Amino acid sequence: DAGITQSPRYKITETGRQVTLMCHQTWSHSYMFWYRQDLGHGLRLIYYSAAADITDKGEVPDGYVVSRSKTENFPLTLESATRSQTSVYFCATRRPDRGRGSYNSPLHFGNGTRLTVT
């Protein structure tokens, strides 16, 4: 059961560089999410996707770009990395809601990517 795979596990990049974090799932869950985790802030939602070609902003989307051409992949791109984007990034998935009153599928998380911007 591979579940969710994030790559790379660790990444060091320089300010101004473009970097892409990968997320792949084997379950075909329709919903996928990107969170960042920082000391003092906890986990915050960056972007999410309800299905292929459907994406939406979360709480902290500035400086990030996402795409979802295939259900199983949800890459996160930092177009011009800044030091404030140093963080641990988590991808998560969720099965679709079953309908009215059934918004209760749990989230499943990957092991994260630790990104350092120098």
Q: Using CB under 8 A, list all residues that contact other proteins.
A: 4, 31, 33, 35, 40-45, 48, 50, 56-59, 90, 92, 103-104, 106-112
Report CA-CA distances (Å) from 76 to 4, 9, 20: 15, 14, 6
Q: Name the residue nearer to other proteins (CB basis): 63 or 114.
A: 114
| CB contact at 8 A, 23 and 32 | yes
Min CB(16)–other proteins separation in Å: 28
| CB contact at 8 A, 82 and 101 | no
The whole-angstrom separation of Cα 5 and Cα 58 is 21
Q: Name the residue nearer to other proteins (CB basis): 7 or 18.
A: 7
Q: Per the structure block, which two tokens stand in for 25?
A: 């799932």
Min CB(4)–other proteins separation in Å: 8
Q: Name the residue nearer to other proteins (CB basis): 16 or 53.
A: 53
Q: Name the residue nearer to other proteins (CB basis): 17 or 57.
A: 57
| CB contact at 8 A, 26 and 37 | no
Min CB(62)–other proteins separation in Å: 14
